[in-house]
Amino acid sequence: MQTKDIAALARLPLGDQLIAVRRMLHRHAEPGWCEINTATLVARLLAEYGLEVRLGAEVIDGQARMGVPDPAVLETYHAAAIAAGADPQIAGRLRGGYTGVVGILRGSAPGPTLAFRFDLDANMGSESKEAEHPPVRGGFASIHDGVHHNCGHDGHTSIGLGLARRLAAEKDRLRGEIRLIFQPAEEGLRGAAAMVAAGVLKDVDHFFGIHIGVQALKLGEIITGYDDILGSTKLDVEFFGRASHAAISPHLGRNAVAAACQATLAYLAIPRHGDGDTRVNVGLISGGDSRNAIPSRARISLELRSDKKDALAFLEHRAQKITEGIATANEVTFEIRRMGESRPASSDRELSELIGSIAGGIAGVTDIRGHVAFKGSDDAAEMMLAVQEAGGKAVYVGLGSALGAEHHNPRFDFEEAVMPIGVDLLFGAARTLCGPK
Amino acid sequence: MQTKDIAALARLPLGDQLIAVRRMLHRHAEPGWCEINTATLVARLLAEYGLEVRLGAEVIDGQARMGVPDPAVLETYHAAAIAAGADPQIAGRLRGGYTGVVGILRGSAPGPTLAFRFDLDANMGSESKEAEHPPVRGGFASIHDGVHHNCGHDGHTSIGLGLARRLAAEKDRLRGEIRLIFQPAEEGLRGAAAMVAAGVLKDVDHFFGIHIGVQALKLGEIITGYDDILGSTKLDVEFFGRASHAAISPHLGRNAVAAACQATLAYLAIPRHGDGDTRVNVGLISGGDSRNAIPSRARISLELRSDKKDALAFLEHRAQKITEGIATANEVTFEIRRMGESRPASSDRELSELIGSIAGGIAGVTDIRGHVAFKGSDDAAEMMLAVQEAGGKAVYVGLGSALGAEHHNPRFDFEEAVMPIGVDLLFGAARTLCGPK
Amino acid sequence: MQTKDIAALARLPLGDQLIAVRRMLHRHAEPGWCEINTATLVARLLAEYGLEVRLGAEVIDGQARMGVPDPAVLETYHAAAIAAGADPQIAGRLRGGYTGVVGILRGSAPGPTLAFRFDLDANMGSESKEAEHPPVRGGFASIHDGVHHNCGHDGHTSIGLGLARRLAAEKDRLRGEIRLIFQPAEEGLRGAAAMVAAGVLKDVDHFFGIHIGVQALKLGEIITGYDDILGSTKLDVEFFGRASHAAISPHLGRNAVAAACQATLAYLAIPRHGDGDTRVNVGLISGGDSRNAIPSRARISLELRSDKKDALAFLEHRAQKITEGIATANEVTFEIRRMGESRPASSDRELSELIGSIAGGIAGVTDIRGHVAFKGSDDAAEMMLAVQEAGGKAVYVGLGSALGAEHHNPRFDFEEAVMPIGVDLLFGAARTLCGPK
Amino acid sequence: MQTKDIAALARLPLGDQLIAVRRMLHRHAEPGWCEINTATLVARLLAEYGLEVRLGAEVIDGQARMGVPDPAVLETYHAAAIAAGADPQIAGRLRGGYTGVVGILRGSAPGPTLAFRFDLDANMGSESKEAEHPPVRGGFASIHDGVHHNCGHDGHTSIGLGLARRLAAEKDRLRGEIRLIFQPAEEGLRGAAAMVAAGVLKDVDHFFGIHIGVQALKLGEIITGYDDILGSTKLDVEFFGRASHAAISPHLGRNAVAAACQATLAYLAIPRHGDGDTRVNVGLISGGDSRNAIPSRARISLELRSDKKDALAFLEHRAQKITEGIATANEVTFEIRRMGESRPASSDRELSELIGSIAGGIAGVTDIRGHVAFKGSDDAAEMMLAVQEAGGKAVYVGLGSALGAEHHNPRFDFEEAVMPIGVDLLFGAARTLCGPK
């Protein structure tokens, strides 16, 4: 249940608040564009701390969203959030796939504009039910079967709310403007572009993104700025054939499953690229009508990634030709749908050096490492590029933690002690840039 | 709704009854092992005509069933049948995957034992929603989305009930014993073996199966006995791999979807057999965890067929080796489950000649053709073999009808005028064999 | 060495001649369109027996030939034949892929026109070198490495020459015209169409083809007429890609070997046809430039077969679409070349009954069987169809023999005692049809 | 023809000698282990300059050679070299796959031991015949069809011989020992290990390798030391199945070509590795017996590469499992043969800094770049590792040149003006390390 007494939550000792919020979110795990309960809690706490709150269609451009689930799915999560005590009025503004929130804190004097981005969504995937899995042991395992905070966004959001509290307390001594961006649908790279398109990064001078436990698996490690966040394109490919009786007239069928299998293997065999690191995955496949009919339909969820723009374009070009060709070979038709996307990006040295210098003064920080390849994707990259292309600086920071298992694994879990470190680090950066001159 | 007034239904002119029953069944289409509404209606009409009725575990050997759906699915159809007015007591005996019914009519004098078999189940597959599709136009399209009487079993069952009525009316003039076997789960070849194992074909001298519209697409055609009913083995193959992050650690994954795709293409490429006609189909595939994870799981529904026992064994041997090998190649594990099965069979000439001679005297019969290859499978073959192996004779008869589209197609439909021809033909056979000497 | 003394050969006892000729041909095995030594020997013996001999471009339409080897290959065999003592003048007329011969015997009175066809060519494939292989033991194993009479054409040709001798001896008592057609390049179905196009079957009333050891594996068995000789289309498919350094710039390559492998597996997975028996084989593949380059080139030898014209057309249509599509998918180009072809055909009952009645009176015949499926291909079918389409009758006869191993196997061998039976049977047919009324 | 007058060649102006030697070698291109003509010329020039010459089994460990061609191939090139004027006595010592040469120059005082390595072999692949291709225009295109110096080793060897000349002239002023290693069979990574095993790098303190035109495509560029030379494993995979008649008994065959195609596609789809850059190529495929037989045999040339030892081991592990599994799936057997191999290696900074400082003083050098990824493989890496593991230092240097087309392309060519720069650079390094203190 979402707490009714938001004020009490907001007055817990900060460390306790970080844990309490993280566990509430973990328990009520919501997938991308469905984060009604999560975003209402965020909005209420931001308001409680006195930040100006914008949300829903104010911060999400509906046309720029990708991979929005079916309305029925959106409604299911809306209903579950309401049932769990989410504020109906706020929920109403988030409903239908508009689950973004931005908290704005305006300083008392002119100064730079900062943006901190936190992602809200859980991921599809079942959580471990083993007794020793800490969320099970702690009683905050996901209540939504098949949805799991297996990427630490519950921690990211809790850090963002902790940062809001620290900034609010310091408000009078800050210059400029600070935006805390709570983004839906990071998984699948579906949400950032819609917030960029809504203008939430307009005039931002310094952008900060974070992630827990990526290439930094020890509490106390800080990666001051990742490079080579992989660009990625998420495509759904569907083949449409013709069913026929598998024994009487197999020759009259046009086999969509055969096409999907050939395409899958051909996608996986797209050659490496000489000038960029690449990744190809077919994460999901489904197809067919019944055991005894030539299959008329099949669908594939494809994912392409690279650290280089040209190599990513090469992957997409190859995927396009493979799809076309395999369709021809099987005399089926096809449809390719763009379900998510972000481009490769890297951190600016200027900001990563700032992070490094602040990290040195934070209790609990034991290791500070420079530019490290991210090796995964995060559509924070789209926000970084939006800021960088407008002349600002961006950094994407790593917060070390041991993990229960790797990201996206049923046993994923992180050390909650990473959260206060994250708050301190980001608060330190804000104060350095926006504090009194 | 299932009619409350069974007596009124039983007293309609026979032609009207055939249509009324067929449409009730078509509308309330139920998949294999779920035919609660269908079988309760059958049982009530058989009883109404005075036949001895056996059903449920009396006629179904629970251990010999194949491909029984999950309990939740069985319960859904039970509940829907009850809601539609099915007799709760009868339904209770059919519940849990025991949806067979046998009506027995004992003649007034010693004589041969005859068995007529009718299949009850609808098939998975969506029915056409086009206005010109006769069940839509007639208001009896399937109420269960994704389940459709697209193979004519509604007609077969209605013919069986018409035959019951004719036989009951003639009862005093018949010798021997006549069994009307209403079998669940023909689709997937899942039900016949369980009725054979329960003994319903014990001591049968003459066995009759029928099918509408197979190789006979003109009303008035009769195929006096099919040969080479294809044997078939239905296998579910599941691969179990290991998930991992598709960008950070693709090398740690073990890709179950890649295995399933390779296996699918290899099954389809199993060579033709020099000494038997063969068929291979992968009707369904599904797999994966999420777009951005190496897939840990995938499942395939495979179907193998042949008109020759050795060729069918060859297909299964090849499928086994392919599965093993592809699992090794991908370092995944696998499970093969037998979901349905029947062997190749052919009609006995003695009975097909009998059918031919009777057909000649039936109104509306315009063409009589001899032994024709069936080209499909029907687990009636298991019943035929059970009878033949015990020294009896068996025949599988074709009733001609134009079709709305081929079997298993969303627009499948048949001419209802075929039903009285079927009743006349089978009744003629019974009277010839069991009538007064 | 080809004998110099043809007269001596022609005067051996017939049984000895059959063996001597067969062994000469077996030893000097020549592949299709290269049968210079074989055809010169045939021409000389026919002339020796007083038949009118036509050969080379008289009986071969150069434009209608398929799958003619490279000129260098043709020349190699020409040179080898000359070296072995082949008549240079005759060889000159056969040179360059014109290795057909027809011997014509005109009867003393008007009568029907008969044609008997014998194939000349050996096959690609190495002959067993095992000591117990009869040609090794007998010292007549193939002198041409990789070329082997592994299909019995040496026997067929020897029978044809034995028949010539018998007919010549009977010449004065025969009516009509008898043509003995010695055809090159049966393997690969490359030669018959060129002889049909040259008119050698013009006005033929009765056509006879033979094969040793097909579905008849016992000396003394006669199959009076095969049905369902499989039609077949032989295609060479070549893919042209782009080479690139496999490590530095794999993305710049266009992989012709990947295309060939995908196409091969897709050809093999062309579905069975509901209305015809089908076969698909990729017998040969080769491709690539070097281990460390993305392969720019690959070639496949494909073979499609069916007993039904429509099913064969379906196979070719599917192969065409697969080739197109796979080329698109890999961004390579392709070329499809027709290397051989013949259509499905069956024997006429009238002639097979004649054969049956004659066989009954021949010494050594122990079993006479009626119409049997051929299960393989022979371009005699093209000749049969040419005769049948012009209103004549055709039959394709089986001569039983135990085999050392199946056709096309390195250990293939047949019983030489089958040859006099073949001669007697064909001579009997000729005498029955053309003998004195 | 190899020049008879070696003394004249040795007295040409150095620039002319470099070009003359390079063109002789280019013209008489010889593949790995067959470099009889090349190595005899090298040995004669080294001797002419007064170096101590070791060759043949003195510098090649026969057991450690990989991928040695068939004896017939070796003999062909031996004969061609003799015919071209190669010294028969030297050739005799190189014959049979022992084509390495080492020239040793001992300084006048104690000092460090240096080794410079040059590769001798041309590559399989046809050279462009276009008139504008410089070797065609210049009349020095390869005389051996299908063998082409398409990787610049002719230039490397000519540089090595130029270096010998410069060092010989300076001999009295040098300390220590300098070994000029001329290695056969770099293509395929087949030769270096055999020279290492023969001890030619024993006690070497400083090792230098070179390559023309890799990541440096402008004359005057110097890459002072490559990093991440890709390790590579070259495997030949052969599948052994069972032939059968493709129409009569396809089910009796065991299809080795199907196995090879499935394996090829599976190798290409080996996933990327999270902790290393990888490459997979199937460069060559061949298989089958004849068009109309199920193929009993197929062979694949596979190449695996990575910049990380563990990732390379992963590739080989996956290739092994794929091969095993695909063999099982097709019921064929297999054999994997190791045809070449070298491990990943990188240059030592100490030596690359030395190269950088020398390059700065060389005429014609316009760009000096630091550590650059090599992106290809060279078994110089095995020599580097042998030196590094024994405590020495190694560097692999890039010499910039525009290219006619990329390496291994039929139109590959380089600018001959790169050769004097290479000589100056290596001579500078030798003088710096071994010159008077």
pLDDT tens for B421-434 read 999 999 999 999 99
| B407 contacts A290? CB cut-off 8 A | no
Q: CA nearest B264 in C: which residue?
A: C269
- Predicted confidence at residue C319, as pLDDT, reads 98
Give the Cα-Cα-Cα angle D276, D277, D283 (nearest 5 degrees). Answer: 135
Mean pLDDT of A250-257: 97
Considering CB atoms only, which of D262, D265, D303 is closest to C291? D303
Considering CB atoms only, which of A249, A262, A330 is closest to C274? A249
DSSP A336: E
Cβ B382 vs Cβ B342: under 8 Å = yes
| D303 contacts C292? CB cut-off 8 A | yes
Other Cβ atoms less than 10 A from the Cβ of D131: the count is 7
Count of alpha carbons within 13 angstroms of residue D329, beta-carbon side: 31
Q: Shortest Cα distance from D251 to chain A (angstroms)? A: 19
| B294 contacts D271? CB cut-off 8 A | yes
Q: Shortest Cα distance from A279 to chain D (angstroms)? A: 7
Q: Burial letters for A36-47: b for 16+ Cβ neighbours within 10 Å, e otherwise?
A: bbbbbbbbbbbb
Please spell the DSSP secondary structure of A10-73, one letter per residue. Answer: HHS-HHHHHHHHHHHHHHT---TT--HHHHHHHHHHHHHTT-EEEEGGGT--GGG--SPPPHHH
Other Cβ atoms less than 10 A from the Cβ of D23: the count is 20
Distance (Å, rounded) from C-alpha D55 to C-alpha B201? 88
| B248 contacts A264? CB cut-off 8 A | no
| B295 contacts A257? CB cut-off 8 A | no
**Main-chain phi, psi angles of C231, to 5 degrees:** -70, 155
Element (H or E) spanning C62, and its range? Answer: none
* 3-class state of residue C291 by DSSP: coil
Q: Shortest Cα distance from C287 to chain D (angstroms)? A: 5
Chain B residues with CB-CB distance to C280 below 8 A:
272
**In the predicted model, is pLDDT for residue D118 greater than 90?**
yes
Residue bearing tokens 């046309």: A63
Please spell the DSSP secondary structure of D151-217, one letter per residue. Answer: SSHHHHHHHHHHHHHHHHHTGGG-EEEEEEEEES-TTTT-SHHHHHHTTTTTT-SEEEEEEESSS--
**Main-chain phi, psi angles of A345, to 5 degrees:** -150, 160
**In the predicted model, is pLDDT for residue D4 greater than 80?**
no
Please spell the DSSP secondary structure of D262-308, one letter per residue. Answer: HHHHHHHTPPPBTTB-EEEEEEEEEEES-TTB---EEEEEEEEEESS
Tell me the torsion sign for CA atoms D364, D366, D372, D374.
Answer: negative
**In the predicted model, is pLDDT for residue C1 greater than 70?**
no
| A269 contacts D271? CB cut-off 8 A | no
Element (H or E) spanning C148, and its range? Answer: strand C147-148
To the nearest whole number, what is the mean pLDDT of chain D? 96
Distance (Å, rounded) from C-alpha D270 to C-alpha A214? 24
To the nearest whole number, what is the mean pLDDT of chain B? 96
The number of residues in chain B equals 437
Cβ D193 vs Cβ D382: under 8 Å = yes
Considering CB atoms only, which of B124, B289, B301 is closest to A283? B289
Q: Burial letters for B89-117: b for 16+ Cβ neighbours within 10 Å, e otherwise?
A: ebbebbbbbbbbbbbbbbbeeebbbbbbb
What tens digit of pLDDT does each residue of C394-410 get?
999 999 999 999 888 89
The number of residues in chain A equals 437
Of A119 and C436, the one with more pLDDT: A119
Radius of gyration of chain D (CA): 23
Considering CB atoms only, which of A247, A376, A408 is closest to B375? A247
Amino acid occupying residue D188: G
D interface residues, B as partner, C-beta within 8 Å: 245, 247-253, 255, 258, 262, 266, 269, 271-275, 294, 311, 314, 318, 321-331
Distance (Å, rounded) from C-alpha A437 to C-alpha A432? 9
**In the predicted model, is pLDDT for residue B437 greater than 80?**
no
Q: CA nearest B306 in A: which residue?
A: A247
Chain D residues with CB-CB distance to C252 below 8 A:
406
| B262 contacts D271? CB cut-off 8 A | no
Q: What is the arrangement of strands in the sheet containing A221-223, beginning at the earlier edge strand?
A: A52-55, A101-106, A175-183, A109-119, A206-212, A393-399, A221-223, A367-369
- Predicted confidence at residue B1, as pLDDT, reads 63
**In the predicted model, is pLDDT for residue A371 greater than 90?**
no
Chain B residues with CB-CB distance to D329 below 8 A:
266, 321-326, 329
Structure tokens at A418: 């990473």
| C324 contacts A250? CB cut-off 8 A | no
Chain A residues with CB-CB distance to B292 below 8 A:
187-188, 281, 283, 303, 408
Distance (Å, rounded) from C-alpha D280 to C-alpha A82? 53
Considering CB atoms only, which of C268, C272, C277 is closest to B279? C272
Q: Given pLDDT bands bounded at 50, 70 and 90, which one contains residue B125?
A: confident
- Predicted confidence at residue D48, as pLDDT, reads 97
* 3-class state of residue A365 by DSSP: coil
Distance (Å, rounded) from C-alpha C150 to C-alpha C154? 9
To the nearest whole number, what is the mean pLDDT of chain C? 96
Q: Is D360 exposed, middle or buried (0-12, 13-18, 19+ CB in 10 A)?
A: exposed
> Which subunits have 3 or more CB–CB pairs within 8 Å of chain D?
A, B, C
| C331 contacts A321? CB cut-off 8 A | yes
A interface residues, C as partner, C-beta within 8 Å: 245, 247-253, 255, 258, 262, 266, 269, 271-275, 294, 311, 314, 321-322, 324-331
- Predicted confidence at residue A84, as pLDDT, reads 94
CA dihedral of B18, B24, B26, B29, whole degrees rounded to 10: -140
Amino acid occupying residue C349: R
Distance (Å, rounded) from C-alpha B331 to C-alpha D323? 12
Mean pLDDT of D255-268: 98
Chain D residues with CB-CB distance to B323 below 8 A:
329
| C321 contacts A325? CB cut-off 8 A | no
* 3-class state of residue D64 by DSSP: helix
Q: Given pLDDT bands bounded at 50, 70 and 90, which one contains residue A206?
A: very high
What tens digit of pLDDT does each residue of C365-385 get?
999 998 899 989 999 999 999
Picking from A265-274, A414-423, D34-43, D403-412, which range would have the lowest pLDDT averaged per residue?
D403-412
Distance (Å, rounded) from C-alpha D350 to C-alpha B332? 47
What tens digit of pLDDT does each residue of B35-83 get?
999 999 999 999 999 999 999 999 999 999 999 999 999 999 999 999 9
In total, the C-beta contacts within 8 angstroms joining chain A to chain C are 77
- Predicted confidence at residue A222, as pLDDT, reads 98
> Which subunits have 3 or more CB–CB pairs within 8 Å of chain A?
B, C, D
**In the predicted model, is pLDDT for residue D437 greater than 80?**
no
Distance (Å, rounded) from C-alpha B326 to C-alpha A201? 50
* 3-class state of residue C113 by DSSP: strand
Q: Shortest Cα distance from B229 to chain C (angstroms)? A: 14
Considering CB atoms only, which of D234, D292, D301 is closest to C283? D292
Q: Given pLDDT bands bounded at 50, 70 and 90, which one contains residue B2?
A: confident
Q: Given pLDDT bands bounded at 50, 70 and 90, which one contains residue C313?
A: very high
Chain C residues with CB-CB distance to B279 below 8 A:
272
Q: Shortest Cα distance from D303 to chain C (angstroms)? A: 7
Other Cβ atoms less than 10 A from the Cβ of C275: the count is 15
Q: Shortest Cα distance from A66 to chain C (angstroms)? A: 27
The pairing of beta strand B101-106 with beta strand B52-55: antiparallel
A interface residues, D as partner, C-beta within 8 Å: 265, 268-269, 271-272, 274, 277-280, 375
Q: Which of A251, A262, A323, A330 to mutate to test the interface with C (most CBs of C within 10 A)?
A: A251
**In the predicted model, is pLDDT for residue D193 greater than 70?**
yes
**Inter-axis angle of helices C36-48 and C153-169, to 10 degrees?**
10
**In the predicted model, is pLDDT for residue D1 greater than 70?**
no
Give the Cα-Cα-Cα angle A127, A190, A71 (nearest 5 degrees). Answer: 80
Chain C residues with CB-CB distance to D245 below 8 A:
376, 406-408
**In the predicted model, is pLDDT for residue A432 greater than 80?**
yes
Chain A residues with CB-CB distance to C250 below 8 A:
271-274
Residue bearing tokens 């859980």: A122
Considering CB atoms only, which of D249, D253, D321 is closest to B331? D321
Chain B residues with CB-CB distance to A322 below 8 A:
none
Residue bearing tokens 């991921």: A123
Considering CB atoms only, which of A274, A278, A279 is closest to D375? A274
- Predicted confidence at residue A1, as pLDDT, reads 63
| A273 contacts C253? CB cut-off 8 A | no
| C283 contacts D289? CB cut-off 8 A | yes
Closest CA to C327 of C216, C223, C240, C253: C240
| B274 contacts C277? CB cut-off 8 A | no
**In the predicted model, is pLDDT for residue B252 greater than 70?**
yes
What totals of helices (H) and strands (E) does chain B contain, helices first?
Answer: 13, 16
The pairing of beta strand D226-227 with beta strand D372-373: parallel
Q: Shortest Cα distance from B369 to chain A (angstroms)? A: 19
DSSP B186: T
Instruction: Name the β-bridge partners of C284.
Output: C301, D288
Count of alpha carbons within 13 angstroms of residue B308, beta-carbon side: 11
Mean pLDDT of D340-355: 97
- Predicted confidence at residue C419, as pLDDT, reads 98
Whole-model pTM: value is 0.91
Chain A residues with CB-CB distance to B339 below 8 A:
291
What tens digit of pLDDT does each residue of C17-44 get?
999 999 999 999 999 999 999 999 999 9
